[in-house]
Amino acid sequence: MLSPKISQALNRQILLEAESSQFYLSMASWAETQGLNGVAAFLYEHSDEERMHMLKLIKFVNERGGHGIVPALKQPPTNYKSVKAVFEDILKHEIKVTAEINGLVDITLKEKDYTTHNFLQWYVSEQIEEEALARLIVDKLKLIGDDKSGLYFFDRDMQAMTGKSAKEKENTNQN
């Protein structure tokens, strides 16, 4: 059974994951309007992944006798200066989410809730991957700078990364 404190903290994380999903969805839609279909595909997929992070939390909270609350969401930003600005925002956002997850892990230790602590380890590893990927992409975009053909190839690379990463994740989850 979840303590009210853990339940509240997990529900806050549900909100954050839902906001992440909306945030990436809005970025994906912007990228699509810019003709960056590869970037858009990557971001649409990422938005789905965040929704899955939210669902996993809702189910866990309910399984443990709590109530996973589906939150109201505020409007995410709709326009971006550049693709680089998008990925810089993503990196900042993921760093914030990592800090929140670490805070949550800390609460589970204080409350001696080892089941939730164990459950959260998946999120801890996920955040390492997400931050590293965002950092890598921002570095690539810094190299490309204003080079239009560089951006064209970058968009193609993003398309190639889409789907593959989801499949790889599925395989790791099954192992």
Q: Under the rule (CB under 6 A), what is the footprint of ligand OFO?
A: 17, 20, 50, 53, 94, 97, 126, 130
Cα–Cα nearest to 93, from 59, 133, 63, 55 = 133
**C-beta closer to ligand OFO: residue 107 or 151:** 107
CB-nearer residue toward ligand OFO: 50 or 88: 50
CB contact set of 35 (below 8 Å; sequence gap of 6+): none
Backbone angles phi, psi at 19, to 5 degrees: -65, -40
How many Å separate Cα 70 from the centre of its chain?
Answer: 17
Residue closer to ligand OFO, measured from CB, 108 or 151 = 108
The owner of tokens 């990422």 is 46
Residue 3's SS3 state is coil
- Using CA atoms of 119, 122, 127, 132 in order, give the dihedral in degrees to the nearest 10: 160
Please give the span between the terminal C-alpha atoms of the chain, in angstroms, as a whole number: 28
Q: In angstroms, give the least distance from the CB of 162 to ligand OFO.
A: 16
Q: How far is the CB of 90 from ligand OFO (least distance, A)?
A: 8
Q: Which is nearer to ligand OFO, 53 or 117 (CB)?
A: 53
Closest CA to 57 of 110, 105, 116, 99: 116
State in angstroms the smallest separation of the CB of 145 from ligand OFO.
27
Nearer CB in complex with ligand OFO: 55/144: 55
CB of 147 to ligand OFO, least distance (A): 29
Chain centre distance of CA 1: 27
Q: Least separation, in Å, of the C-beta of 57 and ligand OFO?
A: 9
Q: In terms of CB distance, is 88 or 130 closer to ligand OFO?
A: 130
| Shortest spacing between CB 118 and ligand OFO, in angstroms | 18
